[in-house]
Amino acid sequence: MDHFLYRDGILHAEDVALPRIAEAVGTPFYVYSTATLTRHYQLFKDALDGVDNLVCYAMKANSNQAVLKVLADLGAGMDVVSGGEYVRARAAGVPGERIVFSGVGKTREEMRDALAGGIRQFNIESEPEMLVLSEVAQSLGMKAPVTIRVNPDVDARTHEKIATGKSENKFGIPIARAHEVYALAGSLPGLDVVGIDVHIGSQLTELEPFEQAYLKVADLTRSLRAEGHNIRRLDLGGGLGIPYERSNEAPPLPTEYGALIKKCVGDLGVEVEIEPGRLIAGNAGILVSSVIYVKEGEGRDFLILDAAMNDLVRPSMYSAYHDIIPVVEPAPGLEKQPYDIVGPVCESGDTFAKQREMVPLKANELVAFRSAGAYGAVMASEYNTRPLIPEVLVQDDQFAVIRARPTFDEMINRDIVPEWL
Ligand code: LLP
């Protein structure tokens, strides 16, 4: 359940009618629900009840300061993948001891800044990275807490661009080489090996791939301990999927996921970390857009919206499905018709949906893209010199702009024309 429901025939975000926000900020815009963010975070906390745990929100999904603050105030940790995300997490009030640093290409500078500022752990992805971190930590006279990300060679059965746990992917070290790599880590100065990390992909709609990966990690924990490594923390990654197509998708629930974690690693006496992004933010946000034109094409009608691929790239990039619903609730029994739903950007790839059954719509009517809170605003660009669209946060009956739409001047003035021109 989320908090975007029709009330008296109008789609609301919590207690705020969407046309009210549209009037105040103009379309298109993203809007997030505080209650949904809170609920989703709490679902994971409840699912892991009884296990020593830290839920580290994967802030790549949505890193607006206000969103981070909602979660940080609840006690969430953060999974960061860049120096910029680290700074954002700290700015939102997340203490260093609740931040884990993931990613295959951490630079010396990022390592230094995180060590100096405080960090819970680095999730190391390769031997070269490990050698550099050892050097950087030594130069600061510190010991860097590390886990090593293992690649369990498990098929996550998700979109190829977001699967990470197969041997052909760039992530982690092959699990078969783990003993060798842990021996190296244990011998290096400046490192404190605290655990194991795994993340096999995103938008997983079955538990089985998680189970395969987690059982391999549990075995590895036992054998590494037998070799003298003090494995006391397991970072089990993120990846639990959400229902994008509500009519026919029912991915596993956080409770089922939590039960699986307990079954696989519950007897190891470890601290468990998870890194969910999409499940926390995805259905906590929608994108609201206005119809500019309804165009009759050859054998098909186009709904031309004021949102485009630069605002929400997932349909063009991953052929992702998003429910698109009218903001004014259609009368029951109103017949639907197929539309190609597109944006104004000058390429055919700027298509949100083909032949989507919708009730008839007219110019200036509002539609909402569901499940747009994760990997929406954060992946937006200014392609076609279209301003990044505003983000709005709702709590009960109040709403606030949490990122304003830039003016054209602000956008253009970021360019610098050399004086010789
Ligand atoms: N941890 C690590 C190391 C990750 O790489 C990711 C996502 C997560 C956690 C969070 O996964 P989640 O719980 O959100 O599934 N832009 C794509 C998704 C890319 C995911 C990348 N890594 C999309 O729009 O579908």
Spell out the per-residue pLDDT of the chain, length 421, in tens.
689 999 999 999 999 999 999 999 999 999 999 999 999 999 999 999 999 999 999 999 999 999 999 999 999 999 999 999 999 999 999 999 999 999 999 999 999 999 999 999 999 999 999 999 999 999 999 999 999 999 999 998 888 887 888 878 889 999 999 999 999 999 999 999 999 999 999 999 999 999 999 999 999 999 999 999 999 999 999 999 999 998 888 999 999 999 999 999 999 999 999 999 999 999 999 999 999 999 998 899 999 999 999 999 999 999 999 999 999 999 999 999 999 999 999 999 999 999 999 999 999 999 999 999 999 999 999 999 999 999 999 999 999 999 999 999 999 999 999 999 9
Pick the closest to residue 119 from 142, 148, 150, 151 (CA basis).
Answer: 142
Tell me if residue 56 is catalytic. Answer: no
Of all atoms in ligand 1, which is nearest to the CA of residue 123? Answer: 3
Centre of ligand 1 from the C-alpha of residue 398, in Å: 30
Query: How does strand 301-305 pair with strand 337-342?
Result: parallel
Pocket lined around ligand 1, Cβ cut-off 6 Å: 58, 61, 79, 102, 162, 199, 202-203, 237-239, 275-279, 314, 318, 375
Structure tokens at 180: 């060798």
CA atoms of 160 and 318, how far apart (whole Å): 9
Among the atoms of ligand 1, which is closest to the Cα of residue 81?
3
Catalytic pick from 226, 346, 416, 421? 346
CA distance 315 to 298: 23
The tokens describing 24, both together, are 């105040």
- Cβ count within 10 A of residue 267: 9
Whole-model pTM above 0.95?
Answer: yes
The CA-atom distances, in angstroms, between 69 and each of 36, 74, 85, 93, 283 are 14, 9, 13, 7, 18
Q: How far is the CA of 277 from the centre of ligand 1 (A)?
A: 6
* Cα dist from 293 to 286, 367, 374, whole Å: 21, 13, 28
d(CA 393, CA 248): 29
Using DSSP bridges, classify how beta strands 29-33 and 366-369 pair: parallel, antiparallel or unpaired. unpaired
**Ligand 1 pocket check: which of 104, 202, 275 to mutate, most ligand atoms within 8 Å of Cβ?**
202
- Nearest Cα neighbor of 378 from 273, 285, 263 is 285
Compute φ and ψ for 263, nearest 5 degrees. Answer: -65, -45
pLDDT at position 246 is 85
Specify the ligand 1 atom closest to the Cα of 239: 15
Q: What is the CA(129)–ligand 1 centre distance, in A?
A: 21
Q: How far apart are CA 333 and CA 354, in angstroms?
A: 23
Amino acid at 223: S
At 254 the pLDDT is 98
Of 281, 290, 342, 334, the closest CA to residue 316 belongs to: 342
CA distance 314 to 371: 11
Q: Are 390 and 30 in contact (CB under 8 A)?
A: yes
Using the structure block, give the residue that is written with the tokens 């892991």. 48
Distance between CA atoms of 63 and 68, rounded to whole angstroms? 6
**How open is the CA angle 372-281-95, to the nearest 5 degrees?**
145
* CA-nearest residue, atom 24 of ligand 1: 375
- Cα(84) to ligand 1 centroid in Å equals 17
Nearest Cα neighbor of 181 from 210, 153, 155, 151 is 151
Q: Rounded to the nearest whole angstrom, what is the distance from the C-alpha of residue 368 to the centroid of ligand 1?
A: 23
Q: Which residues are CB-neighbours of 405 under 8 A, at least 6 positions away?
A: 25, 26, 29, 387, 388, 389, 390
DSSP state string for 62-119: ---HHHHHHHHHTT-EEEE-SHHHHHHHHHTT--GGGEEE--TT--HHHHHHHHHH--
Q: Which of 37, 41, 54, 60 to mutate to test the pocket of ligand 1 (most atoms within 8 A of CB)?
A: 60
DSSP label at residue 284:
G
> How far apart are the CA of 61 and the centre of ligand 1, in A?
7
Tell me the C-alpha distance between 130 and 189, whole Å.
11
Residue identified by tokens 């719509």 is: 361
- Residues 6 or more apart whose Cβ sits within 8 Å of residue 286: 4, 13, 30, 31, 368, 369, 370, 371, 372, 373
Strands 191-197, 233-235: pairing kind: parallel
Q: Which of 253, 229, 220 is nearest to 39 (CA)?
A: 253
CB 125 within 8 A of CB 103: yes
Write the residue with the smallest CA distance to atom 6 of ligand 1.
238
